[in-house]
Amino acid sequence: MSFLLPDLFPAKAQFARRLSQLVTLSSLAFLSHFAYAAKETANTPLSLQAAQGIALERSLQIKAQDAMVNASFEMAKAASQLPDPTLKLGIDNLPIQGANRWSLNREEMTMRRVGLMQEITNSEKRQSKSALYLREADKNQATKTLAAAGVKRDSGFAWLEQYYLRKMRTLVEAQMEHANHEVTAIETAYRAGRGNQADIFLARGEKFNLENRLSELRTRVNKSQILLARWVGDEVERNLAERTPVVEFELTTTQIETRIAAHAQLRVLEQQEAISQAQIQLATANKKADWSVELTLQQRGSAYGNMISVGLSRPLQWDQAKRQDRELAARIANLEADQAMRQEAQREMNATAQAVFIAWKNSRERLQNFQETQLSLSQDRVTASLAAYRGAKMTLNELMMARRNALEVGLQQLQLEWDTAKLELELDYFLGADLVHYASVGKDHLVGEAK
């Protein structure tokens, strides 16, 4: 049958080598890119990539998947063995009436029986069971890859939140410093008879609003620090390094689909298909009944000779159409369902990844336009307003409006950068590649990798 798996039962030496190689290669694949994070000292700023590396090293979810891989390998080895023999003890033909009742040695037909029975499971069935557990090990390994991608993305989100909230807090603190100076200067001028009381109230009101905003940001920073500590532990106390934005690059629909096809989530679903195929193989092997061999020693009273019995037994699969064939049909149906689920998941992931890529490009363009127009205009407006105010050509209220606008523009820029960075992490998750690494070596390399 075309849907059956090949013989995947390994010899003992091959089994040990495969386990060792799989664990070693998977560890290198997940952690080698981030190994430098462990070498950083507490005085080194914590970068995005370092935070992701620390999160991977600390992840108990990944350690749990390693344990599940080892468990599946152990089960595969156990399944390749014959079942344990069965010890059978009993008494045959014990009289319960007459002069010999309840006697074990006065009746010639009474026998004390001890025996062993061994089920001889055929090698095809044992290999099929072992192959099934090996496929589960492969699925657990793919699940580990998916978990690592999720840890990398989610820890990156936590780092970005802390990074940009700190940036926003710093921006408001700088504005707060200006407000404090202005309140002091206006109060001094009023006492010297060069100002009016309304300006004092206006400056104090602006300072109060900034204090409220700063308090809110400090709360958000503290909350996000707790979330980041969930990933990096005590390393959260380190300063954060400056983030390196991804340079512009292009990906075609075909290139995105190629990368999605290799995504860890689809690998998990593919391994589920392999499990279903192994179950088909096992269901096919179950159509061949196993023999059991029994050897029994029967001991009688001292006046009679002992005896032995030898027996063979085998289930009579007289109605396979209603039992074994139905089990096989069910396994084939499960495989068809797994294939459909994988194809549907791939379509959904393709659509999502392309939508994220379009959103990222749009966000990059918006950020660039914002930096070239709004940001410079707001700074120029503040500079001009300050000069006009000092020359008595502008009111304090107009100057504060200019400063307030500059603050809002600065916060909007940071929010746009934050949104763009989150989309970059989403792309990294879907495309399965470090975008910073690929973008740094140019578009041609990225396209080559996609192919």
pLDDT tens readout for residues 145-200? 999 999 999 999 999 999 999 999 999 998 888 777 777 777 776 677 666 777 77
Separation between Cα atoms, residue 55 and residue 228, nearest integer Å: 9
Question: CA angle at residue 386 from 381 to 392, to 5 degrees?
Answer: 125
Check residue 31 and give its pLDDT.
44
On whether the CB atoms of residues 161 and 227 are closer than 8 A, the answer is: yes
Question: CA angle at residue 355 from 29 to 440, to 5 degrees?
Answer: 45
Separation between Cα atoms, residue 311 and residue 326, nearest integer Å: 31
Could you tell me which of 421, 63, 43, 418 has the C-alpha nearest to residue 235? 43
Check residue 326 and give its pLDDT.
93
Alpha carbon of 22 to those of 74, 243, 254, 426: distances in Å?
14, 34, 31, 28
Determine what percent of the chain falls in helix, strand and coil, rounding each to the nearest 5: 70, 10, 20
Check residue 381 and give its pLDDT.
62
**Cα dihedral: 242, 247, 252, 254 (round 10):** -50
On whether the CB atoms of residues 186 and 205 are closer than 8 A, the answer is: no
Which two tokens mark 51?
């935070």
Could you tell me which of 62, 56, 226 has the C-alpha nearest to residue 158? 226
Which two tokens mark 85?
């023999």
Which CATH architecture is the domain 12-450 placed in?
Up-down Bundle (1.20)
Check residue 304 and give its pLDDT.
82
pLDDT tens readout for residues 384-428? 555 565 655 555 666 666 677 777 788 888 999 999 999 999 998
Splitting the chain (451 residues) into consecutive groups of 10 residues, what average pLDDT does each group show? 37 43 42 45 83 94 93 93 93 86 82 92 92 95 93 95 95 84 73 71 80 93 95 92 78 88 93 95 92 91 86 90 91 96 96 93 87 66 59 60 76 91 92 51 32 28
Residues 6+ apart with CB under 8 A from 290: 119, 120, 121, 122, 125, 314, 315
Sign of the CA dihedral 60, 63, 65, 68? negative
